[in-house]
Amino acid sequence: MEAEHFLPFRKSAVIALCAEEVPAKERESFLEFARLLAALVHHRYHVRGDGLLDAYQVLDPAADERAVHSATTTDYIVAQQILERELVELAEAADFTRIDTAEIRRAFAEHSLVKVRLAVDDQDLDAALFFRRGVAERTEQVKWLFGLRRRAVEFTCYSKVLVYIPRLGGEVVLKLFRDVPRNDLEMLYPDARVGMRPLDKLLIGVPAMISGIIVIATKLIAALAPVLLLLAFWAGLRQESVRLDQTALISLAAGTGAFGGYLFRQFSKFKNRKIKLLKTLSEHLYFRNLDNGAGVFHHLLDAAEDADLKQMLLTYHFLNTTPHPLTPADLDTQIESWFHSRWNTTFDFEARAGIQALQSLNLLTEPHPGTYTAIPLPAAITHLDAHWDNIFRPPTSGKRKTGAAPTQDHTG
């Protein structure tokens, strides 16, 4: 599996790690730069989030909020288009990776940690969007031999899985889960149907067959014998008539009742087994569910904001502390090697995205085509301060502050 873009460090940790390598006399300036950059990135995602949540409100109106206008069919279509586009872009900005349909189909076919077999319609399977972040290999002790023993099972686990499923009528299912084994992805479908595994069928079917043979042999056949002989007489297969007296009728009723009770018990066992499987599935999902609906977008916005900020900070820090200009490939190698050698962390850094974001803020120079360096910290702080002030400056109020470029929204 390819290395992820996700860096498993909080933004505060990244700021602290970079600040430790800055000369003591520049450390306070670097922290001020980080605070200004974080405020600017946060504002941009705040504005983006407002538009996104407005679109989601059209598709899934909050029960405790009133709408000014009734949504039209066109409003639903436009809102869903915005939602799906922003969902994919935010998921990528937050370092989530798209899970293809083939991997989900494998989850249906392979053994899962939760002993439940599920099925889902192909239409739901093809329409759903799944994203993952944080891949880890884990080992867990699971029950074996009907719970008499335990054995260690190694599996791939995703720290977070995002699920988006459009429904007819414009409705959407939007959920976020944590700690999901790769082979259990099928359990995240809301309309998945619980089925019986071969082992479940054997546990119910074999005892049912044995007890059924016993009931039929000892109860039903003996009770039906007079009736069968009478039917044979009516059909001309037997010469001697058979009389059904009160004892025979009572025996027939008892045998039929015993067989009916047997069928009811087997049906109850089947239902109880299915209820147990549903309970197992519900518990599995309950403890892994992180967020639903609009809350998922809040989570994505925060995660994308953090990822953007970490990317920009690392790009600026390494370009600022390296004595010569760097190409994007050199910057990739330096940052990835730094995390691997010092914190044993492997990830795929995207230098070009960080460079593009910093260029939009006039924080980089390009001494030679394809090579970049950062402007000094005092100038960088001045540029960020000017960008921040110009966010709230009316267009007609006069010239922008020196050093500020026209404000552009960087969306990662």
pLDDT digits (tens, 9 = 90+) for 251-295: 656 666 666 666 666 666 666 666 666 666 677 778 889 999 889
Is the pTM higher than 0.85? The answer reads no
When pLDDT is cut at 50, 70 and 90, the band that residue 55 belongs to is: confident
When pLDDT is cut at 50, 70 and 90, the band that residue 412 belongs to is: very low
Each residue's pLDDT tens digit, 113-169: 666 666 676 666 677 899 999 988 887 776 666 566 777 778 888 999 999 988 776
- Placement of tokens 């009389």 in the chain: 243
Please give the full DSSP string across 41-80, using - where no structure is assigned: HHHHHHHHHHHHHHHHHHHS--TT---SSPPPHHHHHHHH
Is the pLDDT score of 67 beyond 70? yes
- Does residue 130 contact residue 162 with C-beta atoms inside 8 Å? yes
d(CA 316, CA 321): 8
Each residue's pLDDT tens digit, 69-99: 888 888 888 988 898 899 999 999 999 999 9
- Does residue 173 contact residue 165 with C-beta atoms inside 8 Å? yes
Q: Hey, which residues does 139 pair with through a beta bridge? A: 154
- Does residue 186 contact residue 107 with C-beta atoms inside 8 Å? yes
Helix (H, G, I), strand (E, B) or coil at 403: coil
d(CA 47, CA 45): 5
DSSP class of residue 132 equals E
Q: What CA–CA distances, in Å, run from 247 to 221, 222, 226, 233?
A: 15, 12, 11, 20
For residue 319, the one-letter residue type is: L
DSSP class of residue 219 equals I
Helix (H) or strand (E) holding 29: helix 24-59
Write the burial class of residue 125 (CB in 10 Å: 0-12 exposed, 13-18 middle, 19+ buried). Answer: middle
- Does residue 133 contact residue 160 with C-beta atoms inside 8 Å? yes
- Does residue 59 contact residue 170 with C-beta atoms inside 8 Å? yes
d(CA 385, CA 401): 9
- Predicted pLDDT at 238: 59
- Does residue 156 contact residue 181 with C-beta atoms inside 8 Å? yes
Considering only residues 199 and 36, tell me which one the structure prediction assigns the higher pLDDT. Answer: 36
- Predicted pLDDT at 345: 92
- Does residue 355 contact residue 364 with C-beta atoms inside 8 Å? yes
Is the pLDDT score of 231 beyond 60? no
* Region for 86 from its dihedrals, namely left if φ exceeds 0, alpha if ψ lies in -120 to 50, beta otherwise: alpha
- Predicted pLDDT at 258: 65
Residue 238 CB neighbours (<10 A): 14
Structure tokens at 129: 């969007």
Which of these, 23, 130, 95, lies nearest to 377 by C-alpha position? 23
Considering only residues 172 and 341, tell me which one the structure prediction assigns the higher pLDDT. Answer: 341
Between strands 193-195 and 149-166, the pairing is unpaired
- Does residue 78 contact residue 290 with C-beta atoms inside 8 Å? no
Which of these, 153, 165, 158, lies nearest to 179 by C-alpha position? 158
d(CA 235, CA 229): 10
Structure tokens at 237: 């297969």
